[in-house]
Copies of this chain bind each other. A is one copy, B any other.
């Protein structure tokens, strides 16, 4: 049939792209060999002609996303010339990384579970260190800066409290009586929520605006580093 002739052979890239798409759509839990093969119109064992094992598949998936982040960084560097302040430059890179990570919420957990670090990540961090050194950072301070920034270069929405998005906002499933009990057990948190919830403009993520908080943290750390640099 014509349909069969149209079908192009699999490749590592096609498999990895499908894996990322599947993880985006249904989470890493749904990313199983059989399911991925089904999405590709193929049997599970066929995947093993392009990838040696499932661990390699997962490695390839994080490698793909890391490449996406790295490409966004160098792309942004190209459009803006070399006339950027180091803080502006890193800020822009990390915010771009955040946009990508928001599309792949499973990425932090997956990256944490890998035994080896994708090579593209070294290159990406090398660029960041280069920016710091170019701005006059000592090796010592640049090193510390990397640790202090932690996962911000990857746009981590670590956000322990944000996964509440899955089950509706907090007050939806809490009865009024329980809320009173909570106010007693957690006086400071409830007071903070009460005063903060008034002037929230973006209720999509409950009462926390992830973008604003990310930028606050970023500027706090970048500001502290700038002070140490001088």
Contacts and interface: CB of A to CB of B under 8 A. Distances in A.
A125 B189 contact: yes
A7 interface: no
Nearest to A148: B217
B115 A186 contact: no
A21 to B, nearest CB: 21
* Copies of this chain, count: 2
A78 interface: no
A143 B161 CA distance: 12
Interface stretch (A35-43, A67-75, A79-87, A106-114): A106-114
Interface of A: 108-109, 111-117, 121-123, 125-127, 129-130, 133, 139-140, 142-144, 147-148, 150-151, 154, 158, 160-161, 163-164, 166-167, 185-189, 191-192, 195-196, 208, 213-214, 216-217, 220-221, 223-225, 228
